[in-house]
Every structure is written in C-alpha cells, then in structure tokens.
Amino acid sequence: MAEIKAVLFDQDGVIIDTERDGHRVSFNMTFKEFGYNFEWGVDEYHQLLQIAGGKERMKHYLHTRGFGAPVKPEEEEDLIKRLHKRKTALFVELIASGALPLRPGIKRFMQEAMAAGLKIGVCTTSNEEAAKTLTTQILKDIKFEIVLAGDIVKKKKPDPEIYNLALAKTGLKPTECLVIEDSRNGVLAAKAAGMFVVATTNPYTEKEDLHEADVIVTCLGDPDGEKGKLKQGGDGLAYDGVLRVDQMVRYFAAR
C-alpha cells in the first residue's frame, strides 16, 4: 500500500502557463535585442518544446535553421549563454510582474498538501532564478521542501535524474511521491523514477501522448473558478472538476 508523503511540481505549464506567453515571448524579445530578424511562432515553439532546455533549444534551431547570420563554431557556446542569460532576465521580469497567472487550482492544491503535512517541491529544467522568483515571491506563503531547477542535473527530462535527485534530497521512496506534470517528457521522467503522476494538460500538451500518467486532467480546478475535465484514470473518484489532495492520497493508497 502506497502512502503519499510529498507532492512534486514541474514549473512551466504546471504552475504557470509559461511556455507560449512567457518563454516564447522572452526568446523573441532577446532575438530582436541581439539583432536577429526571426521569431518563434506559436506552433513552431510547440515543436521546439520537444527539446528539453532553453539553451539546447536554441542550439538545435541554430544547427537546423540558422540565425540568419553566420555564427562561428568557436563563438557558438558563448553566444548561446549570452542569449539565454538575457532571455532569463526578461522571463523573470514577466513572472515578477504577475503578468503570467497561476494555473487553476495550483495554489489551492499546494495549500491542501501543506495542511496535510506533505512535503512540497519543484522539479524543473527551467532556470534557477525563474524558479526562485516564482517560489519566493508569487508563492511566498507556500513552504517548499526542495526547489530543484536549471542545470542542477546534467540530463534533462525525460531522463529521471531530477526526480532521482529529489528522492535523494528528501529521503523518500518513489511510491511516496506524487508528481504533477504536463508534458510527455515530464511524465516519462517521473514514471522512470517510479513515482505516481498526475498530468495537467495545457494548450501545448493537450495533444501529446501522456498515457503513462496515472491520472490526466485538463487542470487541477478551483471550486469557485475554472473546473477541470478528467481525461484518464481516476476510477472511483468522486470527481467534480476539482482534484483534491486528500482524494489523491486515498486513490494512490489503494494502488
């Protein structure tokens, strides 16, 4: 019988819908500042999201499409670092400004987890500064046991390294952890670490194959706000569009 003792959250697309109107916009602002005349469109960025990590995404684009101006091989690494540093600063400004609202139900779910005595963590490949801004400013009243972000691990999702690190940091067993993810790479990473997974879809991931997740909903839902839709799993749940921590604890205890 499993006993959930922690809830671990991905950041982008789970806590905040950051991809389309956050990361993509920040990348495009950065490209313009650096004098490049291309932009990543909404659909194009969806394809690029299959590559985990912002620096990795830019390298892939440079190697496959080019930046519209020659980049010497010996200058590539430094250019990517400078682009990513500026992009991150712009992205952090967006988060701090409150321009990117929390996804429905996310803060309520965290508060319920706190009230239940569960540990709360963030496991993201997003930049560490962005994660720190989110957890210490926007969600400053939530007690986070761990915040693992950026280059703290060498291998990005779908590799389970970041979730294995969370296990090492918390001393918990895989079956004591519930992960909230939104993408196929994230779901695969958490499942490879042996954890339970609830996937919350967003416009970028709603058509991805997330069937490895134990439960799939469109969002966690709020009693007085947007309700979610159950897309997979949840057998026996008294689901009313709002996914609750106590429901999940009981649900996974029976598995």
Burial letters 191-227, b for 16+ CB under 10 A, else e: bbbebbbbbbbbebbeebebeebbbbbbbbbbeeeeb
Tokens representing 18 are: 């950051």
Here the tokens at position 189 are 């990473």
User: How big is the CA angle at 80 (ends 134 and 204), to the nearest 5 degrees?
Assistant: 50
* Helix, strand or coil, per DSSP, at residue 214: coil
* CB-based contact 58:76 (threshold 8 Å): no
Q: Which helix (H) or strand (E) holds 96?
A: helix 73-97
Separation of alpha carbons 53 and 149, rounded Å: 11
- Can you tell me the distance from the alpha carbon of 10 to that of 179, in angstroms, rounded to the nearest whole number? 8
**Two structure tokens written together for 1:** 């019988």
Q: Which amino acid is at 209?
A: D
Measured distance CA(183)–CA(211) in Å, rounded: 11
Q: Which of 12, 17, 182, 222 is catalytic?
A: 12
224 is catalytic: no
The answer to whether 15 and 103 have CB atoms below 8 angstroms apart is yes
Catalytic residue among 10, 17, 182, 214: 10
- Spatial CA neighbour of 94 closest among 137, 125, 52, 53: 137
Q: Check if 214 is active-site.
A: no
Residues marked as catalytic: 10, 12
